[in-house]
């Protein structure tokens, strides 16, 4: 056996010729082992099969250190072989330390598993995981507390998914339910708020479109109602408030028109149409000075606003007259 | 090294109070008796009034009358730094004077007319044991294994090694006392088990866990408490006696009288030992304290029962068990997994200690070893194994561990562990760290040993400076520090700049307080001393030969002279006087006293002249 073992290994003549009190066979063993320290895994260094038991590892270690410990060669000339032996001893001890510690051994065994073993282990691991999932599900069904937690988790996950896909109404519904079930859930409430806002904006857009359609067919009262609701649902967007203000003015409700226009200005202080609407509302409610200031501001932001310009000219005239 | 491979090897237990030497004789370890026939030699030495050095029992006997020049418990001081807590504590209780070393970093002892380093003191004890072994074997002994407590740090081990060198011994290995005890326990038994050594001595508590299999003694973990031992038990008894005495005698304080305190201490120790065998004992100290101002002296007379002693010391025993538990946790071993518990040290005789051990481990502690001899026997076994490795696989192999963390000081004065405690030696480890200032060109590497997170609380083993670092922003230069411990327990440290390859290394040795130079000087002195003694012996031989020859001639002439005198007017006086002189010569030769011989020689020669004249004259036919 040993002859085969060293077959592909080149010994340096100088190493073998060094005058030390060690038999040639042991010198070869030391040189060969030391040279292979980097490539051997812990199992092969100790000479045990992959995933050998802790007891086997210890037994192998004890046999090896009886050869590879400097004390076993006390009183002999060792020369450079002393360091070589110590290096091998250290590697053996490291191997023993890893492989006799149950936790480290399992991890190391997985990493160093031969391919077919690896496949088997992997299959085993997946099976174990699947079984664990099943167990969780069963538990969820039987235990109300666990069931609730699972339900909250599911709702939040579904709500998030809907939120990402832009289905705000659905998301808001799920997330609000989740927040209701578990008021201390870290995400549910904030996500629900976001979904609710998203859903509001969506609904407002729908109402706006309905209102435009209603106006076309001359159903002014319906249009005003839809726009009013849209402005309330999505107060951040000035578009609905401006439209609602215009519709209210047309219906002769100057005060409401003014409130809505003010809401639009408040939501978007740099929106020319908001000031235009405010100017119109103020004009209608008999406050020409404020109306003029609002219209001037509107033209300042957007000089192309025809209605504002016309209205302003009219106001100037009335002022002069 | 030239002597290696020849002669017997010995194991020495260099104890705080007693020492012992052992050797493997015909395959069996045995304790070597000293020249007075005792197995234990007190670790006491003294310089007598006539300047003679005394070691062992003879030194101990004269201790009371010559307290300032008698040194004991030197083990407490060995390898310690001047100014450390241990040394300050020792100064308060030791009757002999301590002084700082020349570098003010180690402790020296003033004894007789000179100052001694602690290794020199220990060397005298080692030398005595060496001489005992030489007398036993009838040939020189030059190699030994010496034991130290497991908690001893590198400096203390190094100082012990130096003591061996001074005594003319090559210390093959320093091994831990509990490990040594386990070796002796395992001798001749085939053990495949986890073994706990519970060593409660006079000053310290040591616990070691070993995994023994196939003659390999694998130390898994060591632990202990440097301030927990028999003396703490004595102090509890003393305090109880002092308090009781004060109550009885209206507040008389025994602690103010050092003489009374010394007597009390002895009595407390004696009572404690007695209570290991009997259930009650009495402390009887008459005339303990002078009454003063004409009142009668005060006596102490008290009963101490074993249950009272146990009540007084229960927490100390609990501390032992707590340390044991912690060490087992370190090793990841449960008490139920332990196969044997070996009790070592005099304090382990206390029934309460044995009971606590029994309860903790759930098993009867082993009584198979003699607690005072077992350590020396183990050392002898290890010495034999190191000297005769060729005897095959049946010989023992010891795998010991580092008792404390080894590491470096890092920025902020913190301690960075490089080799954690309970690591099997030989071993090596590296730690990479970076510079802490911009354009730093050198870095100081301080090598420390201990268990504290703060570097300053740990023992400084050595330091060196790595120069020639490439200037760079802080944190950009990586320096690798490598620690390596050889099988002999010698620590080597090297530091390398990973970019430039600049390398600096030290072997951590010079920590015993004695510099190499000083050590050489002491050893030279010893050689001189030895030569002187040899010369003296030669001189003695020569004089003895002359004196014996002269005496023989005189004795041969006595009959002739007697007849001659009978016929003369001289009295018989001369013959009687001559015979007295011859007698004195024989006595002087017997005692080996060379100083008396020159004077006697002269008397002999004159007597011979006279006798020759008389015999010649008398013999001549008249």
Q: Which of B5, B389, B426 has its CB closest to that of A72?
A: B389
Name every chain A residue with its beta carbon within 8 A of the beta carbon of B172. Answer: 74
What Cα–Cα distance (Å) separates residue A39 from each residue in A56, A96, A117?
A: 22, 17, 20
Q: Which of A54, A78, A111 is the last residue of a domain?
A: A111
Q: Which CATH class is domain B1-168?
A: alpha beta
Q: For strand B397-399 and strand B216-225, is the pairing parallel, antiparallel, or unpaired?
A: parallel
Q: Which of B213, B387, B398 has its CB closest to that of A62?
A: B213
Q: Are residues A24 and A68 in the same domain?
A: yes
- Neighbouring-strand partners of residue B66: none
Q: Are residues A87 and A149 in the same domain?
A: no
What Cα–Cα distance (Å) separates residue A184 from each residue in A158, A175, A192, A195, A318?
A: 18, 13, 13, 18, 62
Domain locations along chain B:
1-168, 230-314, 405-508, 517-619
In a domain, A91, yes or no: yes
Residue A117 CA to residue A123 CA, distance in Å, equals 10
Given B154, B177, B211, B484, which residue is catalytic?
Answer: B177
pLDDT at residue number A2: 52
| ipTM of this complex prediction, to 2 decimal places | 0.72
N-term to C-term CA, chain A: 123
CB B506 within 8 A of CB B500: no
**Residue in chain B lying closest to A83 (CA):** B486
CB A191 within 8 A of CB A175: yes
pLDDT at residue number B104: 67
Which whole number is the average pLDDT over A48-61? 90
Q: Are residues A9 and A106 in the same domain?
A: yes
Q: Are residues A107 and A171 in the same domain?
A: no
CATH number of the domain bearing residue A272: 1.25.40.10
Residue B143 CA to residue B415 CA, distance in Å, equals 37
Q: Are residues A24 and A60 in the same domain?
A: yes
- Neighbouring-strand partners of residue B432: B480
Q: Are residues A67 and A12 in the same domain?
A: yes
Name every chain A residue with its beta carbon within 8 A of the beta carbon of B426. Answer: 70, 86, 89-90
In a domain, A216, yes or no: no
Q: Which of A57, A78, A111 is the last residue of a domain?
A: A111
CA nearest B203: which of B89, B60, B366, B369?
B89
CATH number of the domain bearing residue A63: 1.10.287.110
Q: Is CATH 3.60.20.10 correct for B230-314? A: no
Q: Divide the 622 residues of chain B into consecutive groups of 10 and give the mean pLDDT of each group.
A: 66 91 93 92 88 88 80 86 83 83 82 89 94 94 93 85 92 92 90 92 88 91 85 90 89 78 84 93 86 77 93 95 93 92 90 95 87 92 86 74 87 87 89 84 85 81 80 85 82 83 68 68 71 65 78 80 71 74 76 67 79 63 38
Q: Which of A62, A75, A89 has its CB closest to that of B216?
A: A62
CB B309 within 8 A of CB B240: no
Cβ <8 Å between A75 and B4 = yes
Q: What length does chain B have?
A: 622
Give the CATH fold of the B405-508 domain.
Answer: Substrate Binding Domain Of DNAk; Chain A, domain 1 (2.60.34)
Residue B306 CA to residue B272 CA, distance in Å, equals 9
Q: Are residues A102 and A142 in the same domain?
A: no
Q: Are residues A94 and A170 in the same domain?
A: no
Q: Are residues A6 and A106 in the same domain?
A: yes
Residue A37 touches chain B, beta carbons under 8 Å: no
Q: What is the pLDDT of residues A272-313, one digit of tens each?
A: 888 888 888 888 888 888 888 888 888 888 888 777 788 877
Name every chain A residue with its beta carbon within 8 A of the beta carbon of B4. Answer: 75
Give B92: exposed, middle or buried? Use CB within 10 Å, 0-12, 13-18, 19+: exposed
N-term to C-term CA, chain B: 74
Name every chain B residue with its beta carbon within 8 A of the beta carbon of A58. Answer: 211, 213
Residue B177 a catalytic site member: yes
**Residue in chain B lying closest to A60 (CA):** B214
pLDDT at residue number A296: 84
CB B53 within 8 A of CB B24: no
Cβ of A75: how many Cβ atoms within 10 Å? 18
Name every chain A residue with its beta carbon within 8 A of the beta carbon of B179. Answer: none
Residue A231 CA to residue A217 CA, distance in Å, equals 21
Residue A35 CA to residue A24 CA, distance in Å, equals 16
Q: Are residues A148 and A191 in the same domain?
A: yes
Interface residue of B144, B220, B389, B491 to substitute, partner A, most A CBs within 10 Å: B389
Tokens found for residue B52:
């003679």
Q: Which of A63, A71, A93 has its CB closest to that of B386?
A: A71
In angstroms and rounded to an integer, the radius of gyration of the C-alpha atoms of chain B is 31
Strand order in the sheet with B405-410: B414-419, B405-410, B443-450, B459-466
- How many Å lie between the alpha carbon of B3 and the closest alpha carbon of chain A? 10
Residue A173 has pLDDT above 90, yes or no: no
Range of the domain at A302: 252-321
**Residue in chain A lying closest to B401 (CA):** A93
Return the SS3 of A168.
helix
Q: Which of B5, B428, B486 has its CB closest to that of A75?
A: B5
Residue A90 touches chain B, beta carbons under 8 Å: yes
Residue B13 a catalytic site member: yes
Domain count, chain A: 3
Cβ <8 Å between A93 and B5 = no
Residues in chain B whose Cβ is within 8 Å of chain A: 4-5, 172, 211, 213-214, 216, 218, 385-389, 393, 397-399, 424, 426-428, 486-487
Return the SS3 of B164.
helix
Q: What is the pLDDT of residues A13-51, one digit of tens each?
A: 888 888 888 888 889 999 999 988 888 899 999 999 988
CA A121-A122-A124 angle, 5° bins: 65
């Amino acid at each position: 056996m040993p002859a085969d073992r060293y077959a592909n290994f080149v010994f340096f003549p100088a190493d073998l010729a060094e005058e030390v009190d060690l038999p040639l066979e042991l010198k070869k063993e030391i040189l060969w082992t030391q040279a292979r320290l980097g490539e051997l895994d812990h199992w092969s260094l100790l000479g045990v099969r992959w995933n050998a038991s802790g007891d086997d590892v210890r037994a192998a270690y004890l046999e090896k250190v009886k050869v590879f410990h400097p004390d076993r060669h006390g009183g002999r000339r060792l020369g450079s072989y002393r360091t070589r032996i110590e290096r091998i001893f250290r590697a053996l001890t490291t191997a023993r330390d890893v492989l006799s510690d149950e936790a480290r051994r399992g991890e190391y065994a997985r990493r160093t598993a031969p391919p077919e073993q690896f496949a088997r282990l992997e299959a085993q691991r997946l099976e174990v995981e699947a079984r664990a999932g099943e167990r969780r599900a069963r538990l969820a069904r039987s235990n109300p507390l666990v069931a609730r937690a699972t339900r909250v988790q599911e709702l939040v996950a579904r709500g998030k998914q809907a939120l990402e896909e832009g289905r705000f109404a659905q998301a808001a519904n799920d997330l609000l339910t989740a927040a209701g079930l578990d008021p201390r859930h870290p995400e549910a409430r904030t996500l629900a708020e976001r979904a609710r806002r998203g859903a509001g904006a969506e609904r407002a857009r729908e109402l706006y479109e309905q209102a435009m359609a209603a106006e076309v067919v001359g159903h002014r009262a319906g249009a005003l109602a839809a726009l009013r609701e849209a402005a309330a649902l999505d107060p951040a967007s000035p578009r609905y408030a401006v439209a609602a203000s215009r519709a209210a003015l047309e219906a002769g409700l100057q005060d409401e028109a003014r409130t809505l226009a003010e809401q639009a200005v408040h939501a978007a202080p740099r929106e020319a149409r908001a000031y235009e609407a405010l100017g119109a509302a103020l004009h209608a409610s008999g406050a020409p000075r404020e109306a003029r200031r609002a219209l001037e501001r509107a033209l300042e932001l957007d000089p192309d606003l025809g209605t504002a310009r016309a209205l302003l000219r009219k106001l100037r005239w009335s002022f002069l007259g | 090294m030239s002597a290696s491979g020849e002669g017997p090897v010995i194991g020495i237990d260099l104890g705080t109070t007693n020492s012992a030497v052992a050797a493997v004789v015909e395959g069996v370890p045995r304790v070597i008796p000293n020249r007075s026939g005792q197995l234990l030699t007190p670790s006491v030495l003294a310089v007598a009034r006539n300047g003679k050095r005394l070691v062992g029992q003879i030194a101990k006997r004269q201790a009371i009358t010559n307290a300032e020049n008698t040194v004991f418990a030197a083990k407490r001081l060995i390898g310690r730094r001047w100014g450390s807590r241990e040394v300050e504590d020792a100064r308060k209780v030791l009757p002999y004077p301590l002084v700082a070393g020349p570098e003010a970093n180690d402790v020296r002892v003033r004894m007789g007319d000179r100052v001694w380093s602690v290794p020199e003191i220990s060397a005298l004890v080692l030398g005595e044991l060496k001489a005992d072994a030489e007398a036993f074997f009838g040939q020189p002994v030059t190699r030994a294994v010496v034991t130290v407590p497991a908690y001893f740090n590198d400096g203390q081990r190094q100082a012990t090694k130096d003591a061996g060198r001074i005594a003319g011994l090559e210390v093959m290995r320093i091994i831990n006392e509990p490990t040594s005890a386990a070796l002796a326990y395992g001798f001749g038994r085939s053990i495949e088990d986890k073994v706990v050594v519970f060593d409660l001595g006079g000053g310290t508590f040591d616990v070691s866990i070993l995994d023994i299999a196939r003659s390999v003694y694998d130390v898994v973990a060591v632990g202990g408490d440097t301030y927990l031992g028999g003396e703490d038990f004595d102090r509890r008894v003393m305090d109880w006696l002092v308090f009781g005495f004060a109550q009885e005698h209206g507040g008389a304080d025994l602690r103010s009288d050092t003489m009374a305190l010394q007597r009390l201490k002895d009595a407390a120790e004696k009572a404690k030992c007695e209570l290991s065998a009997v259930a009650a004992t009495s402390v009887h100290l008459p005339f303990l304290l002078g009454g003063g101002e004409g009142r009668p002296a005060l006596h102490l007379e008290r009963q101490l029962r074993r249950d009272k002693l146990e009540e007084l010391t229960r927490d100390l025993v609990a501390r032992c068990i707590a340390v044991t538990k912690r060490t087992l946790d370190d090793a990841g071993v449960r008490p139920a997994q332990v196969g044997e518990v070996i009790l070592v040290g005099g304090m382990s005789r206390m029934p309460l200690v044995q009971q606590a051990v029994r309860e903790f481990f759930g098993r009867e502690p082993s009584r198979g070893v003699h607690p005072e001899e077992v350590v020396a026997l183990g050392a002898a076994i290890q010495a034999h194994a190191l000297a005769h490795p060729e005897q095959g696989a049946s010989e023992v192999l010891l795998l010991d561990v580092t008792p404390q963390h080894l590491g470096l000081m890092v920025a902020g004065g913190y301690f960075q562990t490089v080799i954690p405690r309970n690591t099997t030696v030989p071993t090596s480890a590296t730690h990479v760290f970076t510079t802490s200032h911009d354009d730093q060109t050198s870095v100081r590497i301080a090598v420390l040993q201990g268990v504290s997170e703060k570097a300053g609380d740990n023992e400084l083993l050595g330091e060196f400076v790595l120069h020639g670092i490439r200037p760079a922003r802080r944190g950009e230069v990586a320096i690798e520090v490598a620690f390596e411990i050889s099988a002999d327990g010698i620590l080597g440290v090297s530091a390398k700049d990973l970019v430039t390859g600049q390398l600096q290394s030290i072997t951590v040795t010079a920590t015993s307080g004695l510099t190499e130079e000083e050590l050489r000087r002491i050893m030279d002195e010893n050689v001189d001393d030895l030569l002187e003694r040899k010369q003296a012996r030669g001189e003695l031989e020569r004089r003895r030969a002359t004196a014996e020859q002269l005496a023989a001639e005189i004795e041969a002439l006595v009959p002739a002279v007697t007849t001659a005198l009978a016929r003369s007017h001289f009295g018989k006086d001369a013959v009687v006087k001559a015979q007295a002189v011859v007698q004195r010569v024989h006595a002087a030769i017997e005692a080996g006293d060379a100083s008396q011989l020159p004077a006697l020689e002269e008397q002999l020669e004159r007597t011979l002249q006279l006798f020759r004249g008389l015999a010649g004259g008398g013999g001549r036919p008249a």
